[in-house]
Amino acid sequence: MSALTDSPAWNALEGHKHAMADVHMRDLFRKDPERFRKFSLTVENILFDYSKNRITEETMGLLFDLARACKVEERRDAMFAGERINVTEDRAVLHVALRNRSNTPMGPVENGAPTNVMPEVNRVLDKMRRFSEAVRSGAWKGFTGKAITDVVNIGIGGSDLGPVMATHALAHYADGPQVHFVSNVDGTHMAETLRRLDPETTMFLVASKTFTTQETMTNAHTARDWLLAAFEDKAAVARHFAALSTNTEGVQEFGIDTENMFEFWDWVGGRYSLWSAIGLSIVMAIGMDQFEEMLAGAHAIDNHFRTAPLEQNVPAIMGVLGVWYDDFWDAQSHAILPYDQYMDRFPAYFQQGDMESNGKHVRLDGSRVDYQTGPVIWGEPGTNGQHAFYQLIHQGTKLIPCDFLAPAESLNPLGDHHPKLLANFLAQPEALMTGKTTDEVAEEMRKAGTDEATIEKLAPHRTFEGNKPTNSFLFPKLTPYTLGSLIALYEHKIFVQGAIWSINSFDQWGVELGKQLAKFILPELTGESAPKEHDCSTSGLIQAILELRGKK
């Protein structure tokens, strides 16, 4: 057993889980009309209702005991202080500095002394403002003197998912060039994007810290070739490309003016980088003022996370609830279900945010865990998901905790669309919690005039066990500020869970092995080298590809 699973706090939760095994939330609500008041909080106009969970006040007390035993608060403070908590890469973790709107000194600890990165952060933000305003206003001209109408962000992973999500979420506020995203090395992604664009009015943002990422640079060179095919002059590149990178030499060699290079730092993890220069595509779409509102919303949650006691701390509560289900109820996944079409990419964004952070099997000390770590994150907007996978959540054999998110007010108030959407947002968590017993189904069928034989046959199929855990997030409407707050809530929830599991939530070595092997295989597919020794499955697939492509 590990120090965690052998700890008094863990053992107390195991015993409590057995005591809760047959407790139904329906009964908890029936016995306590104050349950909603006890298990809900409001932070930055976001109402967080966690009353529909398999918890009591005792449960929460035990979960907070576990968090404190795992020194969650101390680890949180170490992050904000700039300590090198990313131990496998010897780096600080300071995405919170990127949205530090108070401008209080903040920076990584260097040689035992604190530093202050805020002047550099603000310098890049100011540069982003000047550049984006020139492009958005039409003052910046392309090579032939025309204004930019389309911006293409070329990146992958954190250089794509965050900007895509935020640009989708804030499309209502977009008043700049049309923003497109290309991430996949599959040429179809680039080809289908370029097919709709005019070289004279298109700008590309190449988002790669090292300027060596295979997928990104392959796409960037294809975009440059497309541009040069139209202009036949390398000078055009500087008028139609900007770089989000720290590789000055690589940017210059590509043909981009380093005045249009926007830096970020090694204490910014890729999946937290939308707050940095990587967010330039968001700025192009909605403008710098709105982007700074998003930063402000996240900063407000940073302050809440940093100062609120665990019992009143929304990210901490989100985090310990996830541990409760992952480690004590054997939940393998967690669904994020936004009832707002603008937030359609929010679940995909936190697939990376959560799974790349906490998909780890070793502790900080290198020993293997003997407990579950990060869950599979997935989801789709409501009500689409209701007609796809909610069946399994309601009546399947897997326990799937769910987050429901919705604005009280629509940005597009068409007829009675939004009341109907909200009715579903409210009904689904209630149905998941209460369920419907076989007796209730039978009585309902009798009232409808169904005969007893049919009732006996069909009632089991119409029974809902209920007792399915959910959280609900309700906010006035989707704004840049609110989106920033929501993102930060989930970021810090991930931090809390990683701290409890004693894993490094800020590296991603799992990305590397496949990339290394792909570089090894590529020359075999292009004919630059003979097939090498692989397992028989991989060798067979390589041979099949070569035969299908006529390169035997």
The pLDDT of 508-512, averaged and rounded, is 92
pLDDT (average), residues 357-383: 98
The pLDDT of 469-492, averaged and rounded, is: 99
Judged by DSSP in three states, 519 sits in helix
Q: What is the pLDDT of residue 484?
A: 99
419, with CB counted inside 10 A (0-12, 13-18, 19+), is exposed
> Quick check: 1 pLDDT over 80?
no
Average pLDDT over the chain reads 98
Minimal CA–CA distance to 379: which of 416, 354, 408?
Answer: 354
**Residues that are catalytic:** 356, 387, 515
pLDDT in tens, 535-546: 999 999 999 999
Asked if the model's pLDDT at residue 136 lies above 90, the reply is: yes
Does the structure show a pLDDT above 70 at 203?
A: yes
Is the pTM higher than 0.75? The answer reads: yes
**Sheet strand arrangement including 376-378:** 40-43, 46-49, 470-475, 402-407, 333-338, 376-378
Residue 340 buriedness (CB in 10 A; 0-12 / 13-18 / 19+): buried
Predicted local confidence at residue 531, as pLDDT: 78
Mean pLDDT of the 390-411 span: 99
- Please write the tens of the pLDDT for every residue from 43-87: 999 999 999 999 999 999 999 999 999 999 999 999 999 999 999
What does DSSP assign to residue 91?
Answer: B
pLDDT in tens, 323-353: 999 999 999 999 999 999 999 999 999 999 9
Does the structure show a pLDDT above 80 at 552? no
- Segment 494-500 shows an average pLDDT of 99
pLDDT score recorded for residue 215: 97
Q: Sorting pLDDT into bands at 50, 70 and 90, what band is 551?
A: low
Which residues partner with 41 through β-bridges? 48
Structure tokens at 224: 């440059």
Q: What is the DSSP letter of 71?
A: T
In the structure encoding, which two tokens stand for residue 244, read together? 């989000």
Is 251 within 8 Å of 245 (Cβ atoms)? Answer: yes
**What is the reported pLDDT for 533?**
86
Given a cut of 90, is residue 8 above it in pLDDT? Answer: yes
User: Is residue 190 predicted with pLDDT exceeding 90?
Assistant: yes
Closest CA to 181 of 280, 250, 254, 262: 280
Residue 309 has pLDDT above 60, yes or no: yes
**Residue the block writes with tokens 């706090």:** 9
Burial class (CB in 10 A: 0-12, 13-18, 19+), 109: middle
pLDDT at 88: 97
**Residue with more model confidence, 512 or 181:** 181
- Mean predicted confidence (pLDDT) in 86-95: 97
Which pLDDT score, from 0 to 100, does residue 527 have? 85
Whether pLDDT at 550 is above 90 = no
Nearest to 337 by CA among 274, 249, 400: 400
Q: Is the pLDDT of residue 31 over 80?
A: yes
* Sheet of strand 241-244, all strands in order from the earlier edge strand to the far edge: 178-182, 150-154, 202-207, 241-244, 261-262
Answer for the pair 320, 496: CB distance below 8 angstroms, yes or no: yes
